[in-house]
Amino acid sequence: MPVPAPSPDARAVVTGASQGIGEALATELAARGHNLIITARRGEVLTDLAARLTERYGVTVEVRAVDLADPAARAQLCQELAERNISILCNNAGTATFGPIAGLDPAGERFAWVRAYFEAKARQRAAAGFPADAGGLLAK
């Protein structure tokens, strides 16, 4: 699926942008000229990244320091995104786990639910016309 072209009003959202794959996705999208909304818990790390991306690529980068495991904070972010022009959603926040389920740390597994929740929300939006009608892209 082609990546939508950048436009001044649209935002590409990357959850879990403070490190790893999310940071790389945010950097690549910025290099392609996309204005961004980046999220993670560590707001100071996001703020540093936003400054670097703006300086290097001239894009607008909005920071949302949100713990997606917190239902209230999550709902607030989802509400904002529902009201914004979102062209791309990189549903990246979370952690990878390996091994038998019985041996996994329950606290760590909450993060899997973070991704699942965002995916469910994104699918709701897809059913309502996003991203297909708007030419948007959902990356999981």
Ligand X SMILES: NC(=O)c1ccc[n+]([C@@H]2O[C@H](COP(=O)([O-])OP(=O)(O)OC[C@H]3O[C@@H](n4cnc5c(N)ncnc54)[C@H](OP(=O)(O)O)[C@@H]3O)[C@@H](O)[C@H]2O)c1
Residue number, 134 or 139, with CB nearest to ligand X = 139
Instruction: Tell me the closest approach of the beta carbon of residue 133 to ligand X, in angstroms.
Output: 27
Residue number, 41 or 134, with CB nearest to ligand X = 41
User: Looking at 6, 11, 12, 16, which residue binds ligand X (CB under 6 A)?
Assistant: 16
Q: Is 117 in the site for ligand X (CB under 6 A)?
A: no
What does the block give as tokens for 34?
């996309």
Closest CA to 96 of 21, 37, 27: 21
User: Looking at 42, 52, 56, 123, which residue binds ligand X (CB under 6 A)?
Assistant: 42
Residue number, 73 or 134, with CB nearest to ligand X = 73
Angle at 68 between CA 116 and CA 4, to 5 degrees: 65
Output the 3-class SS for 78-139: HHHHHHCCEEEEECCCCCCCCCCHHHCCHHHHHHHHHHHHHHHHHHHHHHCCCCCCCCCEEE
User: Looking at 3, 4, 21, 33, which residue binds ligand X (CB under 6 A)?
Assistant: 21
Q: Is 139 in the site for ligand X (CB under 6 A)?
A: no
Q: Is 40 in the site for ligand X (CB under 6 A)?
A: yes
Instruction: Tell me the closest approach of the beta carbon of residue 5 to ligand X, in angstroms.
Output: 25
112: left (phi over 0), alpha (psi -120 to 50) or beta: alpha
What is the rounded CA–CA span in Å between residue 24 and residue 90?
Answer: 11
What is the rounded CA–CA span in Å between residue 91 and residue 140?
Answer: 5
Site for ligand X in 77-116 (CB under 6 A): 92-96, 111, 114-115
The residues binding ligand X (CB under 6 A) are 16-22, 40-42, 45, 67-69, 92-96, 111, 114-115
